[in-house]
Amino acid sequence: NGVCLRTLLRLGKTFNVFPSDILIKDIIFEGNRAVAEGNYAEIWRGYYFSEVVAVKYTYVSRAGETLRGNVLQSIWQEMLIWRQLCHPNILPLMGLYIPNDSPSRLCLVSPWMENGNVHQYLTKYPCANRAELLIDIASGLNYLHALRPKIIHGDLKGLNILVTPMHRACLADFGVSIVATESCFKWSGVGVSRAGTLRWLAPELLDGSCPHNTLQTDIYAFAFVCYELYSGNIPFHDLKRDGQVIVLVSQGHRPTRPGHISDGVWSLVQECWEQEPSARPTSREIMDRLLYQGKPSRSFALPYPIRNHYIVNLSS
């Protein structure tokens, strides 16, 4: 419940402590190389007994003395928020693994999703029903926003949406998620307050008028996820410099309409990326709109080339 989550977050922030029942052992790593890596973390494929798992391996020691405490706090926050979540469209956290009982190496363990992220999935299955994927994504987001206290994802984008063996989308990567309205939990030093990937950030975050992620900034990012699914491109893919994106977004510019997107979904996308946060619909309203529109009676193939900007970058 809300009181429990607040207490756990406060303990994690103040004392760097975590519940012992989340610890797991006997993780076996597969191969000699990570499948993806960033500045402080790597993703490995491994095994927990007979189950294939994804292991987010964080090297706290790489952060140096100055940032080490902040990296630890970021891990505690991700773990403590993530472990409270239980929904078909949320990637489950299996537990925390500490190799050789070394606190400088912490691993978050989750089920391995062979279908990969939604971009990899659509490349492999170009006829997949995008409307169903959008409903799954909206359902996961609405679950977060309906919790007490509400959870803000903070980094919603295609790379952070995985596809299960049952071909359902689920939200992942809660490294910058925060508890809504709880300013004492917006930890500094790890970019939590305004975290996220720039091309998915709402204009109020880019211009500094809003100092932290909100429910409305999640909705804005959802609009660009819709754009990704139907276009096969990242937002403003034709612009090389992020500075150009910031200028255009501040002026109210948005990407052009992709092909094969229905009038209803496109209208919803335009409402979700409105310049004014209060004009954007809630996650509940998005769910109702998508469900009301119904699922297409047939799927259709879209061109979905693999592009370099879909290479996983954990440091983003």
- Residues 147 and 175 placed together within one structural domain of the fold: yes
Of 58, 89, 111, which marks where a domain is finished?
111
Give the residue, 63 or 119, on which the prediction is more confident. 119
- Residues 20 and 156 placed together within one structural domain of the fold: no
316 occurs within a structural domain:
no
Kindly report which listed range (41-45, 204-208, 236-240, 303-307) carries the lowest average pLDDT score. Answer: 303-307
Distance, in Å, from the CA atom of 275 to the CA atom of 229, rounded to the nearest integer, reads 22
Of 60, 90, 111, which marks where a domain is finished?
111
Contact 77, 187 (CB under 8 A): yes
**Minimal CA–CA distance to 5: which of 63, 80, 66, 60?**
80
The total of structural domains in the chain comes to 2
- Residues 135 and 198 placed together within one structural domain of the fold: yes
Mean pLDDT of 172-183: 69
Model pTM score: 0.84
Burial of 119 (0-12, 13-18, 19+ CB in 10 A): buried
- Residues 195 and 284 placed together within one structural domain of the fold: yes
Kindly report which listed range (76-90, 172-186, 266-280) carries the lowest average pLDDT score. Answer: 172-186
315 occurs within a structural domain:
no
98 occurs within a structural domain:
yes
Q: Which residue has the tokens 């211009």?
A: 207
- Residues 158 and 265 placed together within one structural domain of the fold: yes
Tell me the pLDDT tens digit for each residue of 212-230.
999 999 999 999 999 999 9
How does 200-217 read in b/e, with b if 16+ C-beta sit within 10 Å?
Answer: bbbbbbbeeebebbbbbb
DSSP string, 256-283: PPPTT--HHHHHHHHHHT-SSGGGSPPH
Show the domain range for 80. Answer: 2-111
- Residues 41 and 161 placed together within one structural domain of the fold: no
Distance, in Å, from the CA atom of 196 to the CA atom of 217, rounded to the nearest integer, reads 10
241 occurs within a structural domain:
yes
Q: 109: which 2 tokens?
A: 């363990």
Tell me the pLDDT tens digit for each residue of 65-102.
555 566 667 777 788 888 889 999 999 999 999 887 66
**Minimal CA–CA distance to 264: which of 295, 242, 235?**
295
Distance, in Å, from the CA atom of 220 to the CA atom of 30, rounded to the nearest integer, reads 38
